[in-house]
Amino acid sequence: MQTVHSLDNCKERSCLSKRRYWSQVDALVMASRCVERRGLRALGTYRCRNCGGWHLTRRA
């Protein structure tokens, strides 16, 4: 039996579908590369509570 953790589930999904970086520096380096290569807008980084790593996020 699983206990209810809808919010955690939601976070876990986005966590699993994203790349994970183990330091903010790594995430920032990749973010700047993505911006250069694809001409994207600046990407943000955030610490993930689910995996304890770092992910990139788009900012409008």
Contact residues for Zn ion, defined by CB under 5 A: 15, 48, 50-51
Query: Which CB atom, from 16 or from 29, has the smaller least distance to Zn ion?
Result: 16
CB of 52 to Zn ion, least distance (A): 7
Q: Least CB distance from residue 37 to Zn ion, whole Å? A: 23
Q: What are the C-alpha distances in Å from 20 to residues 8, 9, 14, 29?
A: 17, 17, 11, 13
DSSP code of residue 21: B
Q: How many residues does the chain have?
A: 60
Q: Minimum distance from CB of 1 to Zn ion (Å)?
A: 25
